[in-house]
């Protein structure tokens, strides 16, 4: 996501998000947060939630509130979600749809989504 001026008209069309990391190592102890960057200026944001639908489908989908809301270098939304909460929502699934819902100050919603995978750490072969 490049920095630049973003009009409300463009905002309605461009619905980007980046989840970091995009593959979550289930056997790692850190970092403590899963970060979601959204291409929407933080100054326009009233509320944020993340809906995680694990695949194969878990009923019901989990809806998480961010642990922290920050601004990135472009002035856009950076939401941090607790890693343990995200892994619990994934419930052992190998992937899930992450849908970020951002309520804007004008009452409209911005709701980008993407697929995020999980993977255990690779096993060491012992043949070094």
Ordered by start, the domain boundaries in the chain are 16-119
Closest CA to 77 of 105, 44, 52, 107: 44
The predicted-structure confidence for 24-61, as pLDDT tens digits, reads as follows 888 887 789 999 999 899 999 999 999 999 988 766 88
CATH class of domain segment(s) 16-119? mainly beta
The predicted-structure confidence for 48-98, as pLDDT tens digits, reads as follows 999 999 988 766 889 999 999 999 998 999 999 999 999 999 888 889 999
pLDDT at 128: 52
Closest CA to 87 of 57, 114, 64: 64
């Amino acid at each position: 996501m490049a920095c630049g001026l973003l009009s409300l008209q463009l905002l309605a069309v461009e619905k980007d998000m980046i989840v970091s990391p995009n593959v979550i190592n289930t056997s790692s102890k850190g970092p403590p947060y899963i970060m979601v960057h959204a291409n929407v200026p933080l100054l326009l944001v009233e509320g944020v939630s993340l809906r995680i639908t694990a695949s194969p489908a878990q009923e019901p989908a989990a809806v998480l509130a961010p642990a922290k809301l920050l601004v990135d270098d472009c002035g856009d939304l950076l939401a941090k979600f607790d890693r343990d909460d995200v892994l619990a929502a994934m419930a052992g699934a190998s992937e899930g749809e992450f849908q970020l819902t951002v309520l804007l100050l004008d009452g409209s919603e911005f709701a980008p989504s993407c697929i995020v995978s999980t993977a255990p750490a690779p096993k060491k072969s012992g043949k070094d």
